[in-house]
Each structure stands twice: as C-alpha cells, then as structure tokens.
Chains A and B, each alone.
Chain A
Amino acid sequence: MKKLLQVQEALTGGHRLCAGCSESIIAKQVVMASPRPVVAILATSCLEVATTIYPYTAWMIPLLHVAFENVDAVASGVEAAYLALKKQSTLPHNEDLEILALGGDGGTYDIGLQSLSGALERKARIRRICFCNEGYMNTGIQRSSATPFGAHTTTTPRGNASFGKIEWRKDLTGIVAAHHIPYIGQAAPVTLKPHDLRIKAAKGFEADGPAFLNVLAPCSRGWGFEPKDTIAIANLAVETCYWPLFEIVEGKWNLTYEPKIKKPIRDWLAAQKRFEHLLTDEPLIEYIQKRIDEEWEALLKKCDRK
C-alpha cells in the first residue's frame, strides 16, 4: 500500500461527481495499477461530464473525450496510430503506453456495444473498463439493459400497473467472454477484498491483447442509498452473489472471492430505495433469489468449483 502512495493519482479533487460517487474511486484504483503511462479515452458518461467541466479538468493523464457509441473504435484507432508512429520512430519518447477506454453501462451495454465487439474481435490492445451503475444516471436515471429486474427508474416507474423494470439484466461479461480475449474481470470497489479491483486492473494491463473489466459502480442518487454507504452497497452486492467477483484468464474461469455465508438477496434489495416496493412482494423476491442462485451455480460450475 505504501508503494502506491508514490503513484501519481489519475484524478484530482474538485471534480463534480456526486458526494460519495464510486466512479472516481474506480478510475483512480484502475489507473494506479498500470505499470506504464496511461492515455484514457472516455465516452460521454457521468464520469466524463462531471470531471471535465470547462475550463476545468480533473484528469492528470492525457484524456480524449468521445461520444457514447464509439469509445472502443477511437481507442483502437489511437492504438493503431501510436504503433504506426512508433514504427516510424517519429515520437519524442519511444516508450510503451497503455490505452484505457472508459464508458458507462450506456456506452458499453447499450449504444456502445457494436464498437466494443468490433474492437475486441480485432484484438486491439486496449484496456476497457465499464462503469456499471445500472442505468442512465447522467441524464436523470432512465433504465439501461444493465438495470436489474424490479428496479424503479424514471422510465420503468413502480406503480399500480408495474413493479419497475420487467426484464432481467443483460449478461455483458458473458457476451465479452464469447469474444475469447486474453483477460476479462468482473469487479467492484469493495473493502471485503480491497485490492481485488486493482489487482484485476494490473492483470489487464499485462494482457497480450484486449482486456475488459466490468465494474459495479454504486450510485447513491439512482439507487437510493446514503453516499457514505457506497462501499457497503458494493460489499453487499458481492456477499449476496448479485455481483460475483471473478476473472477469465485466457479462457479459464476463476472465482476471486467466495462469500463464506451467502446473504439472502432480500438484504441487497432492502438497502436501496429503487427496490423498496418489492419488499412486500414475497413471490417476486423468491423469483429473484431463484435466478440469482441459478446464475451463481452456473458460475461455480464454470469455475470448476462443483
């Protein structure tokens, strides 16, 4: 830990993310893990909007802002351009760089999916982080394909006619796995394993080819919890197996944290206002528990734990 103190932090204070936002915590821990200088390409997102309000920027590393849908295309272009310049020896320093592409669940699960898939298939040597806050929080909390079943958002409101979102969330980590890239991780900013996220990022930076990290990014405004509980909520996501921590290294699945006692999904739901209305609906909670259990069993099997 003491060694980390020497590393230049990627983001300064003075950015305008909500108090207690997880995104700057994730960004800082990820960049900290790189052994080489990092160039970041950032899709429009909460993180982008709040850290780069003109004439201020909170970034200490070179950063390129692009649209929601093309961060991976731009990042692979930056990589190709860098390699070409290096080959021509026209660069002032001939050092190796890390190209880090960042996007929210909108820019990754939804509008950015085709560009992501393309870059992964082309085996661009980029490091891709998804800040999964499970909705379009930047524009006022609308649903995304990462929004969980039953959650209240402004476009899936709870009420007499509906219990919130009726579709199950998309398995993006699984979709990325189908691209057979060298390193994939699912992570969260948790204190129950405080270095898990950073270690996964470090492994990603060493991958020979694309690396992808899907990171759960608790959002106090959108999910409805106190800003101080950001990390506690992330812990709970892992302890209830709602968001298991695992990695896929060269196709081999590996669980990086197994809760000693698996907490009931009700604990996860009860901690957030977006699920408030579900708490009286026992059959729905049973249904959610059943699907979470099935997903967990399937994951254990893939990780050779069963």
Chain B
Amino acid sequence: MPEKQTLEIRWHGRGGQGIVTAAKMPAEVIIKQNGHALASQEYGPERSGAPIKCYTTISNTEIKMYSQPEHPDIVIVVDSTLLKTEPILEGTNENAIIIVNSSHEPENIARAISGGKRKVWTVDATAIALQELGKNFPNTTLLGALIRATELVSLENILEKVAEGLGKKNAALLEGNLQAVRRGYNEARFYQGSEDAVPSTPAPPQKAWYEIEEAGTLPAGTAKKYSTGDWRITHPVLNEQCVHCMLCWLFCPDNAIVVKNEKVIGFDPEHCKGCGICAEVCPPKIRAIAMEEGGEPCEK
C-alpha cells in the first residue's frame, strides 16, 4: 500500500456563483485518472447571495470519511467580501494555502486575515472572467489558480475536463472558459507568509449546539443587526423623478426603502440585497430608481 495522502479543499462562495460545480471539477479529473475524490456541499437551503461552503477531498487511497473536512489544506475564497464575514481560516494551520479572488497583492490579503502570517495566493478572477466571458463567473479562473498552487493535476487535464463539461451545453462560452483557466494559472500571485509576523487575535469560538438554550424565546426583530448588505452586486440609485407613491416600499422584500416624513429618501445599505425589484415596480412613466453595477453602499 502506498503511503496515505489526502488533500482537503474548502470553497467559500455565495449561492448562485456556481461553486458546487467548481468543487466537482478537480474531483472528476482525479477520478478519471483512477484516483479517489469526493465533492460535497454543506447541507442547507441554497439562498442566492448567501454565504455557502463546498468541499473537495482528494486521496490516493479509498476515501472512507464522508463527513465534511474540518481541517482543510486549501481554502478558496470565491468572493472576497466573505473575508470580512466568514471564518475563512477556521480549522486551518500555518501550512494551509489560502487562494483568494482579489485584485489585491497576496501580501495585503495575508496581512488583513492573519497579520501577514499565512500563505496566500491571489488572482483577479472577477476581472478575468468579465474580460473572457463577459460575466462575473470567476470559478474557472480560480480553478487555474488552484492547479498552479498545488500542481494537483496537470493544466492540460483540467482544460480537457472543462472542455468536456461545457462542450455539449455551451460551446459559445468554451473558448472563454479555457482562456480563463489558463490566465488563472499564469496570473496567480503568491505570498509565502512570514514567520515573525504578528499573529492576529483568533475569532471567539461560536456556541456549540449543546450550549444553545432549549426552546427559548427571542426578542423581536434581532435580524436587524444582521447585515445582508454584502449580498449586493448591484445597488439602487434614486433620482429626483420620485413622486413618493410608495410602491417600491410596498414591494421591497428587505425593508430597505428608507422613508422619512412620507417621502422616500434612500436605501438601507445594511439590508438592501440589490435585487432590483424597486427599480422594476417604480411606475414606467416615472422610473425614479436605477440599478447600478457594484455593491457600493447605497445612498441613504
């Protein structure tokens, strides 16, 4: 028997970004090469925009552990806004490799998440995806960066897999995706991490399930304190045409239309998810709301 080697990858993304598919791709390549691999997804409702996690496990021997990896060797962050809100480093040690979709230098990201201690790769996968595919679909670029960081499989093999996966369904996007993988591979940048960096203070541990109150009551409306503002990829902008008919207020799913003295004055940046319903329901003759690219705080 060969020495047992396993590699565990955790993906952090948002519902709707296609990270489930991304987590499967390297697994499929490995299986095709007669290796062992497993791709799984954290059980839960797939809210589009909400943070989700997926896992890929790769091994040279049969995988008997079906539970989700708790100590991943590699963490891939598909959406850099998650760096602030999700426990990205949870369960990892100093040797883990963190791959982040970001235009920043890896050293800056390493500083932000670990005071400069951790090994980080960055690649501007969103920009590459927009150039090559015309859409913010960063996964194939990140796949390229993953291959570069780990030499898990060869670049050729993963290109083949991408071609096979997309070939039937979406020939038009194929060339762009292949190019995105190549560019992810070539343009990923690395920061080694520094021994003498000041370690950041670890996040306080969350309550375990057995520490939670049994069938208790909660005070009303505490969700107000929970920000969903970082789900936005477009944001609403109000203009002077508004006649304050309140239709947008009646139809906003997130209570994010701010009204003062019976007038719409803006949007709640903490809760607006950027769905665009307000812009659609504003009467066609008025059109007082436009959706603009980017998750910038909407004006209030």
Contact = CB atoms under 8 A, between A and B. Distances in A.
Contacts of A17: 47, 253
A19 B274 contact: yes
A256 to B, nearest CB: 18
B262 interface: yes
A57 B221 contact: yes
Interface stretch (A199-207, A226-234, A240-248): A226-234
A52 B45 CA distance: 13
Given A18-B47, A49-B45, A228-B291, A25 B220 contact: no
A20 to B, nearest CB: 3
Nearest to A189: B251
Contacts of B285: none
Nearest to B49: A19
Interface stretch (A58-66, A93-101, A105-113): A58-66
Interface stretch (B98-106, B123-131, B224-232): B224-232
Interface stretch (A7-15, A125-133, A175-183, A288-296): A7-15
Contacts of A28: 255
Interface string B131-174: 00000000000000000000000000000000000000000000
A275 to B, nearest CB: 18
A55 B220 CA distance: 11
A14 B223 contact: yes
Interface in B240-257: 245-247, 249-256
A194 interface: yes
B108 interface: no
A82 B31 CA distance: 61
A18 B231 CA distance: 9
Centre residue among A16, A23, A231 by max chain B CB count within 10 A: A16
Interface in A264-299: none
B228 A56 contact: no
Contacts of B218: 52, 54-57
Nearest to B16: A221
Interface string A119-153: 00000000000000000011110000000000000
A17 to B, nearest CB: 7
A22 interface: yes
A9 B258 CA distance: 13
B276 A227 contact: yes
B212 interface: yes
Nearest to B253: A24
Contacts of B225: 14, 56
Nearest to B215: A65
A172 interface: no
Interface string B30-51: 0000000000000001111110
A22 B48 contact: no
A4 interface: yes
B223 A18 contact: no
Interface stretch (B112-120, B189-197, B265-273): B265-273
A76 interface: no
A21 to B, nearest CB: 5
Interface of B: 15-16, 45-50, 212, 218-228, 231-232, 245-247, 249-256, 259, 262, 268, 270-277, 279-281, 291
21 contacts: A1-B250, A2-B262, A11-B255, A12-B221, A14-B228, A15-B254, A18-B47, A19-B49, A19-B253, A19-B275, A20-B277, A56-B218, A57-B221, A57-B223, A59-B220, A139-B45, A221-B15, A221-B46, A227-B275, A227-B276, A231-B251
Given A16-B228, A19-B273, 11 more contacts: A4-B250, A13-B223, A14-B224, A16-B226, A17-B253, A19-B48, A50-B47, A58-B221, A140-B46, A231-B251, A231-B280
9 tightest Cβ-Cβ pairs between the two chains A and B? A13-B271, A228-B276, A20-B275, A14-B223, A58-B223, A19-B273, A14-B226, A19-B275, A13-B255
